[in-house]
Amino acid sequence: MESEAGVGSAEAAESRRLDRWLWYARFCKTRALATRLCQAGKVRVNRMRVRKPHYSVRVGDVLTFAQGRDIRVVRVLALGERRGPATEARALYEDLRPDAGAPEAVSPRLG
């Protein structure tokens, strides 16, 4: 019996609900907003549109979604256990935008 309980908890630890992960990673202020984002079909997981907030996200999945005027493309690095501070949230994902981390390009003024 103990081994069965251990397997179930290990499987549960390998995935996280999409809405919960978006909230843990601080892409949404509330879990309700994360749920609405998913239900509206505005999140893609590995290029597949997802409409279910309970969709299971795993380490290595690539998420694409709009955040304000930006399109965010992130790879899940960790599932997280709670919604912690921003520094903890940044450890949950890798930003895949080509210009991530680079200062905003300033366009030269023409003439």
Range in 1-5, 35-39, 80-84 with the lowest mean pLDDT: 1-5
Domains contained in the chain, number: 1
- State pTM to two decimals: 0.77
pLDDT per residue as tens digits for the range 50-66 = 999 999 999 999 999 99
Structure confidence at residue 97 as a pLDDT band (50, 70, 90): confident
Q: What is the three-state SS of the chain?
A: CHHHHHHHHHHHHCCEEHHHHHHHCCCCCCHHHHHHHHHCCCEEECCEEECCCCCEECCCCEEEEEECCEEEEEEECCCCCCCCCHHHHHCCEEECCCCCCCCCCCCCCCC
Task: Specify if 104 maps to a domain.
Answer: no
Task: Specify if 109 maps to a domain.
Answer: no
**48 pLDDT more than 90:** yes
The CATH number linked to 91 is 3.10.290.10
Q: Which domain holds residue 8?
A: 2-95
Task: Specify if 105 maps to a domain.
Answer: no
